[in-house]
Amino acid sequence: MELLLSVLYVSVFLAIIFRWRFFNIQGVKRTWLAWAFVIKVIVGVGVGLLYTYHYKERNLADTFKFFDDSRVMYNMFFMNKGYFFRMFTGYGDDATYLLPYYDLMNNWYNKVALFNDYRTQIRINCLMRFFSGGYYYVHSVMFSFLSFVGLTAMYRVFAEEIPQKKKILFAGVYFMPSVLFWGSGLLKDGLIFFATGCTLLFLYRLTSYRTKIFLYGFLFLACLIFLMTIKFHNYILLFPLLVAYGLTMVNPQKIFLKFSTITAMYFIALINMDLILPHFGLMDLIAKKQFEFLELNKMYSPGSEIALSTLYPSVKSLILNAPEAYYHSFFRPFFFESKSPLILFAGFENLFLLLALVVSLMGYRKSDMRFSPILYLAVFYVLLLFLLIGLVVPVMGAMVRYKAQALPFLFFVLVMAFDYKMLMIRFPFLEKLLKARK
């Protein structure tokens, strides 16, 4: 039955891809999109098998733990609908008579994160159970489709900026190894791609078309709130960039100045938040997050640790640690230090991105570069997310996973900066070599 339902939902989602206007992208065949989705489904199955047979601690595996906990909430629907309503909506969910049921879950109480997004994931899986029969791989298909929708939303915005490079952009957005693996199957990362991509697309439509303002405005806010509930630190980093993006789309003057000023003022305010809420300033929270990661390292010994300099709750410590943070987040892991296939793939992915950066710089021509709002948003987002990851994450596996959320933006920047004709002008031997091979 699990196989039949999974195939049924794959068929339904393929029909949506071929019929929904959202997937009608000029210059991109729908069959390409269909195959991209099918590949995501296959990789999602691989994620489930990997966590089933290799990482066998089910209660620690992200792909299982929220799915398993959702069964408790789902069963409550048939036992006591009033209790279920409180647990599912969050309205009055702190009632003492619900505590015995929360104790049956392993992840309802998240004492590590500032903002508890575990409950959102449990609720999403609970909702899906009404349509999935409670089968894991049906949920995997559903999550893969949500991730695919989010990546397609990103792709649509990026492709509007560089329509002449749609094919290479298509390959990068959908098939970068880290994005493909972590963005497939029953993992939170797929929801992050969904929320990020849809937030960006609806803001783009709101500021570009200036039509259906209430519809696009509502959808933008809904997706932004969803991003906040599913990954709070992504929301924190992206919020000022979305504000700057919206303002520059309406008035495209002094784009860099607007982005840098708004971002700087926003983070200065967050850093000084402890003046109002003691111990809740940005640097206090980041330093605490690094400490929590290091403590988890000691507890579980993942085997792919990265030595981090201690981060103190001060701007000076942030500045001193920033070079090391960028070094780790941009270049680690190296392919030659890999201890597992996943880290090995990530190492070669980093090598590819480094080579792509070199090639983009060699083919760069400022006069042909369009310094648009979406380009600045992508650059700032990559720099901010990579800085945060490099500061607090001391494990290569976790670093690879978190970096994946910014890789479509990074790839877009590299593709946008690359000018094939300029590369041939600067290095004529490459053109002769390519012609000789033909």
pLDDT digits (tens, 9 = 90+) for 17-56: 999 999 999 889 999 999 999 999 999 999 999 888 877 7
Of 195, 230, 265, the position where a domain reaches its end is 230
pLDDT at 147: 97
Poorest-confidence range of 66-80, 143-157, 205-219, 357-371?
Answer: 357-371
- Report which of residues 317 and 365 the model is more confident about: 317
Query: Binning pLDDT at 50, 70 and 90, where does residue 434 land?
Result: very low
pLDDT at 278: 77
Q: Which residues are CB-contacts of 234 (< 8 A; sequence separation ≥ 6)? A: 192, 196, 227, 385, 405
Indicate whether 72 and 197 sit together in one domain. Answer: yes
Contact 122, 69 (CB under 8 A): yes
Mean pLDDT computed over 69-87: 94
Residue 236 covered by a domain: no
Mean pLDDT computed over 158-168: 89
Helix (H) or strand (E) holding 312: none
Indicate whether 196 and 85 sit together in one domain. Answer: yes
Average pLDDT over the chain reads: 87
List 25's β-bridge partners, or say none. Answer: 28
pLDDT at 60: 74
Of 179, 206, 230, the position where a domain reaches its end is 230
Mean pLDDT computed over 188-203: 95
Alpha carbon 284 to its chain's center: 24
CA dihedral 421, 422, 428, 433 (to 10 degrees): -50
Residue 113 covered by a domain: yes
Q: How far apart are CA 85 and CA 253, in angstroms?
A: 49
Indicate whether 181 and 214 sit together in one domain. Answer: yes
**Does 115 score more than 80 pLDDT?**
no
- Report which of residues 188 and 115 the model is more confident about: 188
Q: How far apart are CA 114 and CA 228, in angstroms?
A: 12
Q: Which residues are CB-contacts of 68 (< 8 A; sequence separation ≥ 6)? A: 58, 59, 106
Residue 240 covered by a domain: no
Indicate whether 294 and 433 sit together in one domain. Answer: yes
Angle at which helices 373-392 and 232-250 cross, to 10°: 160
Indicate whether 223 and 278 sit together in one domain. Answer: no
Residue 400 covered by a domain: yes
**CB crowding 101-124: b at 16 or more within 10 Å, else e:** bbeebebbeeeeeeebbbbbbbbb
Query: Binning pLDDT at 50, 70 and 90, where does residue 365 land?
Result: low
Nearest residue to 113 (alpha-carbon basis) of 292, 312, 282, 305: 292
Query: Binning pLDDT at 50, 70 and 90, where does residue 438 land?
Result: low
**Does 426 score more than 70 pLDDT?**
no
Helix (H) or strand (E) holding 78: helix 62-79
Q: How far apart are CA 36 and CA 58, in angstroms?
A: 29
State the residue range of the domain holding 40: 1-230
Per-range mean pLDDT, top range of 3-12, 60-69, 296-305, 340-349: 3-12
Indicate whether 401 and 293 sit together in one domain. Answer: yes
Indicate whether 224 and 276 sit together in one domain. Answer: no
- Domain count across the chain: 2
Contact 391, 321 (CB under 8 A): yes
Q: Where are the alpha helices (DSSP H) in 26-61?
A: 30-53
pLDDT at 435: 58
Residue 18 covered by a domain: yes
Task: Indicate the SS3 state at residue 281.
Answer: coil
pLDDT at 279: 73
